[in-house]
Amino acid sequence: MKLSVFVPEVLRRLAVCALAGLSFSSHALVTNTAGNVPAAVSSMTVTIDTNARTVPYNRMIFGGFLEHFDHQIYGGVYDPGSPLADTNGFRRDVIAALKELRVPVVRWPGGCYASGYHWENGVGQQRRPTDEMAWGVVEPNSFGTDEYVVLCRLLGWQPYICNNAGNGTIQEMRNWVEYCNGNTGPYAARRQANKYSEPHHVNLWSIGNENWGQHEIGYKPIAEWAPFVLEAAKATKAADPHIQLTAAALPTREWTLPLLKLAGAYLDYISIHKYWLPLWGKNEIPDYLTCIMHSEGPEQSITDFLHVLDESGYRGKIKIAYDEWNLRGWHHEGFPRKMMQNYADPEVARLVKAREKNDIASQYTTADALFSASFFNACLRHAEDVGMANIAPLVNTRGPLFVHSKGIVKRTHFHTMAIYANELESRVGSLKLQAPALTQGDRSIPVADAIVTTDSSGTRWAIALVNRHPHHPLQCAVIMKGRPLQGEHAAVVLAGDSPDSFNDIEHPDRVVPVRKTVKFTRGTLELPPHSLTVLKVSLKP
């Protein structure tokens, strides 16, 4: 389950050459230059212990997130006026694409939006538009709790609702749980009057969103937050004792330890968020290497937080919910805000329109695909501690699926998600990786990443191999049962014709996965540059 990078290049190179039946020359050990692994040493070794303990992982790490921001909901998954929509207003092409991802859980309604959202405005027949503080727009309220749950059932998602811990009340939270899950009581009766006779069975609930931050409506310092979470947990579990709860947290000792000391006994998860390129105010478009150098960030953030959970005494009892993550932070210059806006103000209109910069297709290169692979790998390596992760968002903004008025575009990271959701086996195996470094300036990461999964019998194996190098292929040796893998094997390969390749409306298939048969020659398989390869291997029991 541990990924290690074997630093002494001489020993690593000797091992690879010996296994592959090749000669070795010490003059091949050239110092890495910025962004370059010399072709002479561009090799890696993956060693898999097929006898080691394997660990099941929770498929909720492939989860998604939808917020009432820009066109994620309206003009995204929900567009009743579109000729592409079904009778419920859901886009048929979007539904078909999302089914490919087999997303197990989706968090809603936010996000910063949740801290100002009053759920009762979004149910029933007589709905009225309301002013929306966080993002400075008018909320039509035509997509609310019931529509969300119907969408979840249509796509097989487990619903995961984020409560309003901003300007909402604990009583409001408790009532929402009753509306969704109750058989009796005034709010259960209200749901039934809205023609949903059976409970919605929403099992997952979050207490708040980023209420640790002063950007958030209802910011609360930890001295206020911990007792608030305790009382909210008691109230919501009184409405339905079977629900699972998480609470917004900073992954720090200062925040997490007081929270868990007071409210930990009521929590099943603890929520953390991270966007590695914070582009909130300025929509920069970094090059491939700048993006890819963040690929080890997810591993580090999880490892660091596990130390905090260890100290709290709740490790093994409370799982990590990485319920907002993405390489790129959403662009929303001048927002979120904590007050109603003058919609006629030209500056407000300009800032809202500036969110269209999130739609620039050329941003979403193979870097997004490979970063996402490394994020999933980190979660899989820590399968015993990470119980859920939600890419933010799932549709539009920075999401893997771009939706426009006439169709969809599957961005590069859409294909990564589809590969991980469909091609891996159910248990994580033991893998060690030996690889040289990829360097940019004073930053350095391993040029490769890898994870191995297997079925319960240990006969089917799926090995995910990431070559992060922008230009050079990697010669990859895979050791299983003490010997190099040989021969031909089925594989799925995702790569582009350049590291900056992207999909857009005019060219939606520049970067798509290819199913092929790959061959190990003299003990090694060549991995294309900037690529993800999932290798399928069958072993006799």
Across the range 408-430, mean pLDDT stands at 98
- CA 282 – CA 323 distance, rounded (Å): 24
Last residue of a domain, which of 423, 456, 487?
Answer: 423
Closest C-alpha among 384, 349, 412 to residue 53: 384
Confirm whether 2 is domain-assigned.
no
Task: Inform me whether the pLDDT recorded for 143 exceeds 60.
Answer: yes
Confirm whether 299 is domain-assigned.
yes
Any idea of the CA torsion for 175, 180, 183, 186, to the nearest 10 degrees? 30
What is the DSSP track for 22-60?
----GGG-PPPBTTB--GGG-EEEEEEETTS--EE--GG
At 337, is the pLDDT very low, low, confident or very high (cuts 50, 70, 90)?
A: very high
At 42, is the pLDDT very low, low, confident or very high (cuts 50, 70, 90)?
A: confident
Q: Are residues 15 and 108 in the same domain?
A: no
Confirm whether 4 is domain-assigned.
no
At 130, is the pLDDT very low, low, confident or very high (cuts 50, 70, 90)?
A: very high
Closest C-alpha among 149, 127, 151, 150 to residue 140: 127
Question: What is the total count of domains within the chain?
Answer: 2
Q: Are residues 366 and 324 in the same domain?
A: yes
Confirm whether 1 is domain-assigned.
no
Confirm whether 175 is domain-assigned.
yes
Last residue of a domain, which of 423, 453, 480?
Answer: 423
Q: Are residues 197 and 317 in the same domain?
A: yes
pTM: 0.93
Q: Are residues 409 and 520 in the same domain?
A: no
Confirm whether 36 is domain-assigned.
yes
pLDDT digit string, tens, across residues 157-183: 999 999 999 999 999 999 999 999 999
pLDDT digit string, tens, across residues 226-260: 999 999 999 999 999 999 999 999 999 999 999 99
Mean pLDDT across the chain, nearest whole number? 93
Last residue of a domain, which of 423, 448, 466?
Answer: 423
Task: Give residue for tokens 């003990």.
Answer: 523
Strands 63-65 and 430-434: unpaired
Q: How confident is the model at residue 540, as a pLDDT? A: 84
- 3-17, 82-96, 404-418: which has the minimum mean pLDDT? 3-17
pLDDT digit string, tens, across residues 111-125: 999 999 999 999 999
Which two structure tokens, joined as six digits, stand for 454?
A: 């297997």
Across the range 393-418, mean pLDDT stands at 98
- CA 170 – CA 232 distance, rounded (Å): 5
Q: Are residues 279 and 372 in the same domain?
A: yes
> E strands within 253-372?
269-277, 319-328
- 6-15, 135-144, 223-232, 476-485: which has the minimum mean pLDDT? 6-15
Strands 158-162 and 105-108: parallel
Q: How confident is the model at residue 541, as a pLDDT? A: 73
Q: Are residues 158 and 47 in the same domain?
A: no
What is the DSSP track for 144-169?
-HHHHHHHHHHHTPEEEEEP--SSS-
Residue 452's domain comprises 9-56+426-538
Q: Are residues 79 and 146 in the same domain?
A: yes
Confirm whether 145 is domain-assigned.
yes
At 147, is the pLDDT very low, low, confident or very high (cuts 50, 70, 90)?
A: very high
At 28, is the pLDDT very low, low, confident or very high (cuts 50, 70, 90)?
A: very low
Across the range 421-445, mean pLDDT stands at 97
